């Protein structure tokens, strides 16, 4: 196997792990959306989003630039907010359970 194929295989394995982690993150966002719906909160939380950006910026050691990390996380946060909103809408349309 050529050197490039070895590196591509490593990237493929890492991509599989990233997809798994992103979906796990989305499940957490879904749960947060359900809670926000119950609490009457909005999906958009600029303070929390800025906190996330600060956290990932501190953890970035490169080679991705800070701007690249911010762009990636803007997309991740945007998709997470979409999952939250979807969960919030489902929660609003679901009658309370009779316990």
79: domain CATH number? 1.20.59.10
- How many domains, in total, are found in the chain? 1
- Tell whether 98 is covered by a domain: no
pLDDT of residue 92: 76
- Tell whether 73 is covered by a domain: yes
Q: Which two tokens stand for residue 51?
A: 């906190």
- Tell whether 66 is covered by a domain: yes
- Tell whether 99 is covered by a domain: no
Range of the domain at 41: 3-92
What tens digit of pLDDT does each residue of 52-89 get?
Answer: 999 999 999 999 999 999 999 999 999 999 999 999 99
CA–CA gap between residue 28 and residue 25 (Å, rounded): 5
What tens digit of pLDDT does each residue of 34-55 get?
Answer: 999 999 999 999 999 999 999 9
Give the mean pLDDT of 13-20: 98
Three-class secondary structure of residue 26 per DSSP: helix
- In this model, does residue 96 exceed pLDDT 60? no
- Tell whether 42 is covered by a domain: yes
pLDDT of residue 95: 59
């Amino acid at each position: 196997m050529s050197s490039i194929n070895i590196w591509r295989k490593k990237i493929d394995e890492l991509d599989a792990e990233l997809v798994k982690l992103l979906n796990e993150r989305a499940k957490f966002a879904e749960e947060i959306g359900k809670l926000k719906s119950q609490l009457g909160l909005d999906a958009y939380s600029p303070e929390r989003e800025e906190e996330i950006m600060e956290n990932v910026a501190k953890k970035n050691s490169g080679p991705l630039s800070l701007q690249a990390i911010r762009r990636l996380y803007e997309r991740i946060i945007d998709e997470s907010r979409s999952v939250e909103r979807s969960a919030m809408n489902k929660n609003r349309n679901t009658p309370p359970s009779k316990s």
